[in-house]
Structure 1
Amino acid sequence: MRFGVNYTPSHGWFYAWLDQDWKSIDHDFEQIAALGMDHVRVFPLWPVLQPNRTWINRKGVEDVRHMVHLAGEHGLDVFVDVFQGHLSSFDFLPSWLVTWHTGNMFTDPDAVSAECELIRVLGGELAKEPAFKGITVGNEVNQLSDRPHPTKMTATPDQIDGWLDATLEAAATSGGKALYSVNDGVWFLDGHPFTPVQSGNKGDMTAVHAWVFNGVAQGYGAMSEECTSYALYLAELSRAFSRDSGRKVWLQEVGAPENVLETSDTPEFCRRTVLSALDCPDLWGVTWWCSHDVPAVMSDFPPFEHALGLFDERGQLKPIGEVFGQLARGHRDDVASTRSTAVVVDVNSDGEPALRSECGPGGSLFDTWMREQKAGTRPTVIASDLAADPAVLEARGITRLVRCEEHTGARFYTAVSDPAFDEVEAA
């Protein structure tokens, strides 16, 4: 079992790419390694790496390699995202895709070609570092493709298929793992162009991002079983659509947002959430968001973004950091047993959920799974087409199927990325 953090530089947040303090960054990695982490996920900014469609900033690429090297000196493996894309309510899109040059990163052939070239150049340089282990194409880039994004770049699922195939192929040339990440719109937002079948089958692993400010905490209570089992639920839901019964799931982002949690509850929320997630048989690892708090001097962030770190902005370990470190040191050898009960999600002829919103907070499938979880049956989820195949059930160790008595959309789900801007009430 792998334990790590999403790395947020303690000095300058991600703006550190514009003016690196390598001594501070090296100290950050020293702290992270001392806490018991084995990997970090890092986020170079897309406009810094590729400010013009046909010009890659080689100094920026070298800076990413240097960061990977520093992390490796402290025994940390490193996974690198390419397109940021979207971070903590801010979009970082290069100027050749916006305003006077408005384009579509998913469907414009010239844009896709440029993106693939950046991936290949960055991956080729990072492959020279032993600590480098893989590329995530981008951070929740699906947010840029659909509502509620104010200037979304629309695409069809078929067009997203082509984009993913091209970018993941480029990422694979680095020799490390190649994958992509999404927010929960993929699983819960009806009609979203990024789909569960894509997430369950494309790339070397499925990455899930579990944030309880999406209606789970508001609808059920911040310290409820539904809230602390949400990361596990999302991991099990992602497995439902994979044709590979042993495909790994990376809990790539999970955190304790204080817009829905009391500060005093965050250590216990962390403990319960991680222990619950470790009960997923195919879990690859847990990567906490994030390493260091966003400095208070920085403006216009949703307020809770300033308090998500395991270390505060002065570099002091917080109580939640102590808990996550203890979990990492104590549960690295955990292996979860097979889950023999499965809740069936009805799918269409393409294998996609007939009603994605049914899977979201307050939806009938979500509530059915949570009832089984609280009853101690340790449920997983399986797509109805796979559930009809006895060989698939045998391969997954499933002996009991549970079907929803009704099919309803989510009562509590909010697709707003950062609801701290406005107080979110359960629908």
Structure 2
Amino acid sequence: MPVPDEPRRIRFGVNYTPSRGWFHHWLDFDPDAVRADLDALAALGLDHVRVFPLWPLFQPNRTLIRPRAVEQLVQLADAAAERGLDVAVDGLQGHLSSFDFLPAWTRTWHRRNLFTDPEVLAGQEEYLRTLAAALADRPGFLGMTLGNEINQFADRPHPDPDRITGAQAAAWLERMLAACERGAPGRAHLHAAYDAAWYLDGHPFTPAHAARLGAMTAVHSWVFNGTAQRHGPAGVATEQHAAYLIELSKAWARDPRRPVWLQEVGAPAPHIPEDRAARFTTTTVANSLDCQEVWGITWWCAYDVSRSLADFPELEYGLGLLTEDRAVKPVGRAFAEQAAHWRDRPHRPPARTTALVVDVGDAEEAPHRSVCAPGGPVFEAWARLAAQGARPALVLAQLATDTAYLTSRGITEVCTPDEVGQ
């Protein structure tokens, strides 16, 4: 089994939800408030933030990318760098906390498919390239994520999806990633999907896209997807859901060394009760870091949403590491303790030698990927193995007898879900 040349240094960061005005702060951008927010995040010992421009505010017309908005984004990145925080930037926002933010030139009277219309594609390309180019010379700029869970616009349960095929999804991803690379060559540009990509049969964005396109794989772990409802807040499957997604991504990755970024994870109430949130944080981080090739963990989110803002789903209000008054919550202390624990420690967990077979049909389109979802045979068998103290990996059925491949991942034993006892 190949030994990594050197252990990774785990990155700990947070998705930056401003304490004042949420993402609407771009309308009244206040550098002093941003600096105060970043001071509090740096004090937790974090090393990066993920930042979210609102697409309609930055590109209100297809041929107008507002220079002042781009300047404000750069100001934010510079303020973060002054505090030792690197910056990852999402481009096409897109979708955030149940709200859609799409420019008027893609909707209603100008309705055009977000993923296939030639003019929309050209506008998106130029927007992503422009943001990347504006940040390219900033040493703390990590790279672009195309958008936040933009796959939700392509399928149910979105109330008005822009339908596409898997091939069209792949073409869109490749074209947009290339635009980011033109703007900032050599940075870590990637894309991010919510878990329909891994769990929903027929969804056009696939596990193969997630695990093979872009500089690394991003996973978003939310246990309100049926996991906590089925297994409870203290269930092994709940506390290991993030680790499961990390390992599931590895089943599709062509490169065993491909980095995986746990880009979103949080402790949503009431699925995770407030008095268990700190424990959930600690166990989720520990379990995730029992997986190889983890790039980092970025908590959702920085600050609680103010109760003065209306119409958010109830669970969205209390997800912050800090309150809107910048007071550190128990979740924030727990996450900071994990960051401090790992700051100078090498990350080199042992290989997972037992692998569970994942049979989703064709590996590229994954027509039966719901077997991997909570309640599905792969998910539940993996959870049973984990509850027994095992450290299961996952392997595609097409590779389950490939000795060279298994050896490259350190796998010595393979079993099917049917072979895992109830």
Which category of TM-score, normalised to the shorter sequence, fits these structures?
A: over 0.9
Query: 2:190 aligned to 168, 179, 184, which one?
Result: 179
1:37 is matched with which residue? Answer: 46
Other-structure match for 1:413: none
| Corresponding residue number in structure 2 for 1:327 | 338
**What do residues 274-311 of structure 1 show as CA deviations (whole Å, max 9, x unaligned)?**
11111011111100000101111000001111100000
Q: How does 1:222-371 map to 2 (within 5 A)?
A: 222-332=233-343, 333=345, 334-371=347-384
Output the CA distance in 1 between the equivalents of 2:180 and 2:286.
32
Instruction: Verify: 1:67 aligned to 2:76, yes or no.
Output: yes
1:160-175 matches, within 5 Å, as 160-173=169-182, 174-175=184-185
TM-fit CA distance, 1:34? 1.0
Note if 1:133 corresponds to 2:146.
no
What is residue 213 of structure 2 aligned with on the other side? 202
| Conserved? CA contact 2:360–2:369, under 8 Å | no
How far apart are the structure 1 equivalents of 2:404 and 2:122?
41
Q: Which moved more, 1:213-222 or 1:368-377?
A: 368-377
Partner residue, 1:21? 30
Shift of residue 353, structure 1, vs aligned partner: 3.2
Find the residue that maps to 1:236 and give its secondary structure. Answer: helix
The answer to whether the 8 A contact 1:351-1:385 is kept is no
Q: Do the aligned partners of 2:16 and 2:301 also contact (CA within 8 Å) in 1?
A: yes
Q: What is the DSSP-based 3-state SS (H/G/I as helix, E as strand, rest coil) of the residue aligned with 1:28?
A: helix
Change (3 A) 1:32 1:181: same
Q: Say if 1:38 and 1:76, in contact at 8 Å, map to a contact too.
A: yes
Deviation, 1:349, is 3.9
> 1:346 touches 1:354 (CA, 8 Å); kept in 2?
no
Q: Deviations over 1:343-383 (max 9, x none)?
A: 11114344443511110001100011111111222011111
TM-superposition CA deviations, 1:138-159 (whole Å, max 9, x none): 0000011100000111100000
Match of 1:109 among 115, 118, 135: 118
SS in 1 for 2:247: helix
- Using a 3 Å threshold, how does the CA distance of structure 1 residues 350 and 231 change in structure 2: closer, same or farther? closer
Looking at structure 1, the residues matched to 382 and 367 of structure 2 have their Cα atoms a distance apart, in angstroms, of 17
Give ranges in structure 1 of 5+ residues lacking alignment: 408-427
Quick one: distance in 1 between partners of 2:215 and 2:161? 27
One-letter code aligned to 1:146: D
User: What SS does structure 2 have at the residue aligned with 1:83?
Assistant: coil
User: Shift in Å at residue 59 of structure 1?
Assistant: 1.0
Tell me the residue number matched to 1:422. none
Give the structure-2-normalised TM-score.
0.95
Per the TM alignment, residue 387 of structure 1 is displaced from its structure 2 partner at its CA by 2.1
The change in CA–CA distance for 1:73 and 1:158 in structure 2 (over 3 A counts) is: same
* Preserved contact between residue 217 and residue 260 of structure 1 (Cα < 8 Å): yes
Distance 1:350 1:232, change over 3 A: closer
Residue 306 of structure 1 aligns with an amino acid whose one-letter code is Y
Q: Offset at 1:54? A: 1.4
350-359 or 111-120: bigger deviation: 350-359
1:340 and 1:148 mapped to 2: Cα distance?
37
1:219-241: CA deviation from partner (whole Å, max 9, x where unpaired): 11011111000000011001100
Q: What is the alpha-carbon distance in structure 2 between the residues aligned to residue 92 and residue 277 of structure 1?
A: 31
Amino acid at match of 2:64: W
1:146 alignment partner in structure 2: 155
| 2:386 aligned with 1:377 | no
Q: Equivalents in 2 of 1:315, 1:103: separation in Å? A: 41
| Letter of the 1:167 counterpart | M
- The structural deviation recorded for 1:406 is 8.9
Q: Secondary structure at the match of 2:189?
A: strand
Whether the aligned pair in 1 keeps the contact of 2:90 and 2:147 (CA below 8 Å) is yes
Q: TM-score if structure 1 supplies the norm length?
A: 0.93
How far residue 128 of structure 1 moved from its aligned partner, in angstroms, is 2.2
Contact 2:166/2:205 (CA < 8 Å) preserved in 1? yes
Aligned residue for 1:138, secondary structure, equals coil
How far 1:259 moved relative to its partner?
2.9
Aligned length: 407
In structure 2, the CA distance between the partners of 1:359 and 1:349, relative to structure 1 (3 Å rule), is closer
Whole-Å separation in 1 of the counterparts to 2:169 and 2:112: 15
SS in structure 2 of the partner of residue 405 of structure 1: helix
- Distance in 2 (CA, whole Å) between partners of 1:20 and 1:336 is 43
**Deviation for aligned residue 1:179:** 0.2
Paired letter, 1:398 = I
Is 1:403 matched with 2:416?
Answer: yes
Match of 1:118 among 122, 127, 138: 127
Say whether residues 1:390 and 2:395 are aligned partners: no
The separation in 1 between residues aligned to 2:175 and 2:389, in whole angstroms, is 42
Per-residue CA deviation, residues 293-341 of structure 1 (Å, 9 max, x unaligned), is 1111000001111100000011111111011000000023232111111
- Out of 388-397 and 248-257, give the one that drifted further: 388-397
The one-letter amino acid paired with 2:78 is: H
Please give the alpha-carbon distance, in whole angstroms, between the structure 1 residues aligned to 2:363 and 2:213. 15
- Counterpart contact for 1:248–1:284, Cα < 8 Å: yes
* 1:345–1:353 contact (8 Å) kept in structure 2: no
